[in-house]
Each structure stands twice: as structure tokens, then as C-alpha cells.
Structure 1
């Protein structure tokens, strides 16, 4: 059992009034692919949130490709979906938790701890033969109120001035970390002193947690006083934050702007 994951069977067994389901499917290469997939078929009763429109803020010269969204705007959007305080939220994607983990982190950052990620994503739900449709659900507005935790986020300046014993974790693929390739950002490489733990290793190709393989890799870091995590734009770093939380370190901090913010100053 894990604290933040739920199986398709366990989700299917929950009464509808006890949970809000949110589809987070997305593609960086084709930004409407996730919404199109949702409109074609999704878990019955699920709502859709878009990475660029709902789970990110307005881009600027600095701050990264996916800056954190405005808290009040996201609060209002979640209320529209019918979210009430203390109600369980189940989030899913079909990209090995890459985007579901972003909403998982945002909800907890905004003070809503009752959130789980569907293990295996939409594919696992379909393979289990559970209910799907293409109907946009209508919900009574909820009473969720955000209570942000700004201490969960670090800025470029805080990364620069981090303590000597702080561990900075780069969540990108090894080739990007090593500067061998950079398909998205204008500068290749990594922040000096960062260690590399690619986010993809948290799950298998089916999007299921490989806990017995992932937990040992964190052991060398769990005793560190402070952990900071980044990726390309603050999205897939949340998969590592999920893994760390499952390992008992739910105090790891997100460099929200990540490499896309860092290299905008180079």
C-alpha cells in the first residue's frame, strides 16, 4: 500500500460523492492531444484540466516554461469542478504520472492533502474494463479554499545560495543532465552540483510505481537536511517529489522555474 496511489479497482469501488476525478493527459509535442483524448473517452465522471491553461501561469522572460498557476484562479477552477474540502481527488494521465503528479503536488501545495494518483493511468483503467464515456460531467460548485505553502517552493536565488549540505536533484533524462542533448531549452547542461535521478525511473512503462526499485536509490539522500528538486520546467520534477514523499521525505522543495528558468539567465 502507498499513501498517494490508488488502483483502478479501488477507485471504481468508491461512491461518486466521495471523490472528484481529474484527467491530466497532455503532450508537450501536441498541446491539444490530451484534451482531444479526453473528449473522445475518459473515466466516467472525470473532469479535464490542461497543463498550459489550468496548471501553469503566465509565461515571462524568466520563471520558466510552466510557471506555477495563480492560486486564486486554480482554486476557482477546482471549485467549479465540485471540489469540497476534505474530499478525495483522484488524478490520472497516460504519461507515467508526468502531468498527474503536477496536479498532485499543486493540490497539496494549496493545502489539500486528500489526493491520490491512479496507478497505471487511463490505460490501466481501460484494461480493467471499467466505465468510460465521453460525457462532460456537470457538478455543483464546491467549497474548496486554498491555503498555499510558499515554503514548498524555492527560487533561483535560493538554489544559488543553498546550504552546502543541501542536495539538489535534477529529474531530467541523463543525456539532458549531461548536456549531450537539449530538445526544448536553449541551453544544455545542468545546475552545478546537482545529482541526476531521472523521473522516468519512478514507474515502469505501464505507468505503475516500481517502489521496490526506487526506494533504495533515495536511501543515500534521506538523511540530508534539505532536498531541492527540479526538471526542465517544474512539471516532471513532481514525479520525483511523489517518490520522495512515498519514501518519507514529503518536505522536499520544488524549484518551480527549473532549468528553463535557470538557463534564461545564462
Structure 2
């Protein structure tokens, strides 16, 4: 699920590895979603290509923001970037590993199980004195066939009418969760799964403690788990953390609160005395 900067440094230039810069940010005000191509243009890990998470891997025709791109669009982008179904992809960002995690999940959803997250992101790479450049690389086009794996994605009805043995995890920050969440969802803030100083994921034991503090016993999980957030992006931080703990193939509710929160037919819960 994750690789260290040392691991990637030793493999710079490996033709079987594609490095993807997918830096961006999420604001509290509109417009909320931004990519950061200017940062990539200024400096990036040598050999890396850039993906705009707000446009390139989303369905711009879907009324729900940042839902995953359709197969044809995703296939074409990956092919242009020199990524096949068998290419190892190492993605990095500087927003708590959520965009790199989203790309890794999207790759798995469309049939590439070699999507990895760079632990510590670009900031960690630079802090460790590893090389950067500003060269825009070009790669030979490859063949990518996007075949959806529906077991990795959930829609609103599947969430609302989920079985009783399903654990629903909300990866948003506590103050956002408190304003409104899906009934039965447990808040496991994505920020509780990483070290604020290094940007790296916590150790396995520390991750177990974070989950336990949220009311989730990693050693006694139900049969099914679904993760969501505002747009199915920070939820992938939870997915990555679970993967580190050996719990894989966790589906994401792609529409998440962007869809659920605006649908008057969907039940919602707000924490009492919020904002008082």
C-alpha cells in the first residue's frame, strides 16, 4: 500500500515504475477542490508525471463532484502517461496522502493492483535531501484496459441498505463529521492515521490505537467495511491505513457526502449541541 522514499530513490529510472505527482488541496470555502500543477512545474521527483485530480481522473459530466472517471477516459489518460495494467505506480501528494491514495484506489478499481502511495509525500522527500528537478518527461504510450471492479465501489443505495454486519467509516475531520453524517457511521479522521510532523503513516500498533480510540477494534472487525468522506478522497487514507494492517479490498462510497448530504431522501444525523 505504501513505499518509503528510500525504496523509491533506489528505483529512480526504473522503466517498470511510473511516478505520479498528484499534488492538490481542499479548501473550506468554494471553490473547494484545487490541483497544483504550478508546484509540479517548479520542482518534482525526477521522472514523475502530473495528474490533475480535479479533472483528469474524475467524471466532469457527473453532477456529483470528483466521482471517478469513466473507463474510457481513465484508460486513455493512463495509456498516455505510459501506464499499463501491470505498471507499478508510485503516487505522491502533500495533502495527507489523500490524492495519492485516491489514485491508488482508482487504479485498483480499474484493474491495476500495483498502485502505491509514497509515505511522507513530496515534503518528506525534499526534507530528506533527495533529488528533484523540473524536467517534463515523455513516455511511450502503453495499453491500459480499464475494467471496473464493482466490489471496490459503493453507491448511495448500497450504503443506505447495507447489511447489519457492515462497518461504515467516515474519514472526515471531527468538526465536519459533527455537522452531518450517515446514520451508523463511525468517525475515524484521516488526520489521526498519520504523523503530523513527518506526514508518514503511523506504525501498525499506533494505527490500531487510533482505530480503537474511534471505537473500532481492528482485531474484531465485521464481515464488511465501507469508507466514505466528502468526495471519496480522504476516505482512501483510511483505506490505505487498513491496507497497512492487512485489511485489503475495502470499498469506497464514491459519491460520499457530496452526494448524500444534498439528497433530501437520505437520512442524516448531526451531533447534538454542535457549535454550542
User: Is TM (by shorter chain) over 0.5?
Assistant: yes
Deviates more, 1:75-84 or 1:40-49: 75-84
2:255 to 232, 257, 260: 257
Structure-1 residue corresponding to 2:187: 196
Structure-2 residue corresponding to 1:184: none
**What secondary structure is seen at the aligned counterpart in 1 of 2:240?**
helix
TM-score normalised over the length of structure 2? 0.86
Structure-2 residue corresponding to 1:157: 157
Distance 1:12 1:252 in 2: 29
Distance 1:113 1:33 in 2: 25
Q: After the TM superposition, which segments of 4 or more aligned residues of structure 1 sit over 4 Å from their partners?
A: 30-33
Once the two structures are TM-superposed, the CA of residue 16 in structure 1 deviates from its matched residue by 2.5
Structure-1 residue corresponding to 2:4: 7
- Work out the number of aligned pairs and report it: 252
Distance 1:195 1:52 in 2: 27
TM-score normalised over the length of structure 1? 0.89
Distance 2:9 2:249 in 1: 31
Structure-1 residue corresponding to 2:267: none
Distance 2:161 2:33 in 1: 35
Contact map agreement 1:57 1:68 (CA 8 A) in 2 = yes
Contact map agreement 2:103 2:115 (CA 8 A) in 1 = no
Distance 1:142 1:169 in 2: 36
Please list every run of 5 or more consecutive structure 2 residues that lacks an aligned counterpart in the other structure. 265-276
Contact map agreement 2:35 2:52 (CA 8 A) in 1 = no
Distance 1:226 1:85 in 2: 27
Structure-1 residue corresponding to 2:78: 78
Larger RCO: 1 or 2 (CA < 8 Å, sep 6+): 1
